Amino acid sequence: MSLQEVLSELDGFTIEVPSWAYGNSGTRFKVFSTPGTPRDPFEKIADAARVHALTGLAPRVSLHIPWDRVEDFGALAAHAEEHGVRIGAINSNLFQDDDYKLGSLTHSDPRVRAKAVAHHLDCVAVMAKTGSTDLKLWLPDGTNYAGQASLRARQDRLAESLTEIYAALGPDQRLLLEYKFFEPYFYAMDVPDWGTALLHCQALGERAQVVLDTGHHAPGTNIEFIVMQLLRAGRLGAFDFNSRYYADDDLIVGSADPFQLFRIMAEIVAVGAHRPDSGVNFMLDQCHNIEDKIAGQLRSVLNVEQALAKALLVDTGALAAAEEAGDVIGAHDVLMDAFHTDVRGALADRREAKGLPRDPMAAYRTSGYADGIAAARVGGTQAGWL
């Protein structure tokens, strides 16, 4: 097969971008502001739509509630359609309320748990108004000290809370449960790993699936192994793609370890999970603290596409033969040959054939869009994660 025939497997592959990536962010010491930062969800969607217009790869935008709350979600969905994109997953927020200091869905106080559940029912209502099919839940609950709370009781309360939320979903809607091994709590997170998330999802039903955030793992974790296992179980619902140097840095995907991203995509390709009918939602979860936000999202989307293209070039026949023969170096070389293939020119040709810019980054820089929004978005309050 020719390179372009191989890359035809990219048809239909898309990546969901997060609304919060276009707002101000920073470190725990400082949130940085930049000219042209969106002041409301409508402007966030306009910026996200620019990424899709330049790449053809990002037709959905995740929302975060309450950060993206508006009076008329129907109008927001219509605004997205007018810009050539649509609303993706709805993300809940359980980490910015004083009531949740000692837990939300796992709290010992029934009132606090009911409040946390009610927030998710509100998110389900937002899904109905926007056409979203995915409710994404990252649980920040946990404990800092041994003996602070019963680990078992917290799991029991979490199971009860998730059951209430899951029951509120429509037949075409999913619950996507994310895990994180530490932070904001350091003794025990209530959903610290993929096994815990998987157990809860299996107890809930088929429409409960696991979200894998590539930054939510201890150093040295073999993330592609987790990807493989969740695919085997039919429970990999979505990715949160980012990159990390130490912990959950939410940096541009592939910036720290592009070979890891390639290895992950190779596991995806091995079972055809890159295709739209797989049900796996490829998403970004990033904060652009010091770099241009739109350019950061462009680079992330293009990095994922490039890693997927290389994964599609793996000679699966040669790989299987080497594995069967116990040819350790030969099998590894098959992967390395694909990884070291320069696919940038072929991807540029493919974009050009579709009427897209050969170089989306250069097209953005010369478009004047950044200067335009900096001049237009004066006054008001810039959006941010605080």
Specify the amino acid at residue 324.
E
For residue 76, give Cα distances in angstroms to 44, 87, 127, 203, 380.
11, 9, 12, 34, 19
Three-class secondary structure of residue 355 per DSSP: coil
User: How many domains, in total, are found in the chain?
Assistant: 1
Which is it for strands 31-32 and 281-284: parallel, antiparallel or unpaired?
unpaired
User: Cα–Cα distances in Å, from 194 out to 40, 126, 180, 339, 345?
Assistant: 34, 27, 8, 27, 37
Q: Provide the domain limits for residue 31.
A: 13-314+356-376
Tokens of 175: 């619950």
Pairing of β 142-143 and β 60-64 = unpaired
3-state secondary structure of 89: strand
pLDDT at site 6: 83
Residue 2 lies in a domain: no
Is 319 a member of any domain? no
Q: Is residue 247 part of a domain?
A: yes
* Position 303 in a domain: yes
**Joined tokens for residue 297:** 């999202």
Whether residue 4 lies inside any domain: the answer is no
pTM, whole model, 2 decimals? Answer: 0.96
**What sign does the CA torsion over 296, 299, 303, 305 have?**
positive
End-to-end, the C-alpha distance of the chain in Å comes to 51
In a domain, 248, yes or no: yes
The runs of H, that is alpha helices, within 326-357 are 328-339, 344-353
Half-sphere exposure of 165 (CA within 13 A, CB side): 33
- pLDDT one digit per residue (tens) for the chain, 386 residues: 678 788 899 999 999 999 999 999 888 788 889 999 999 999 999 999 999 999 999 999 999 999 999 999 999 999 999 999 999 999 999 999 999 999 999 999 999 999 999 999 999 999 999 999 999 999 999 999 999 999 999 999 999 999 999 999 999 999 999 999 999 999 999 999 999 999 999 999 999 999 999 999 999 999 999 999 999 999 999 999 999 888 888 999 999 999 999 999 999 999 999 999 999 999 999 999 999 999 999 999 999 999 999 999 999 999 999 999 999 999 999 999 999 999 999 999 999 999 999 999 999 999 999 999 999 999 999 988 76
Instruction: Examine residue 34 and state whether it is found in any structural domain, yes or no.
Output: yes
Count CB atoms within 10 A of the CB of residue 37: 23
Query: Structure tokens of 241?
Result: 């793609």
Are residues 360 and 54 in contact, defined by beta-carbon separation less than 8 angstroms? yes
pLDDT at residue 248, as a whole number = 82
CB atoms within 10 A of CB 99: 14
pLDDT of residue 251: 94
Q: Which pLDDT does position 386 carry in this prediction?
A: 60
Nearest to 130 by CA among 184, 73, 79: 73
The helix/strand/coil state of 283 is strand
Flag whether 231 is in a domain.
Answer: yes
Identify which of 130, 246, 334 has the alpha carbon closest to the alpha carbon of residue 122.
130
- CATH assignment at residue 145: 3.20.20.150
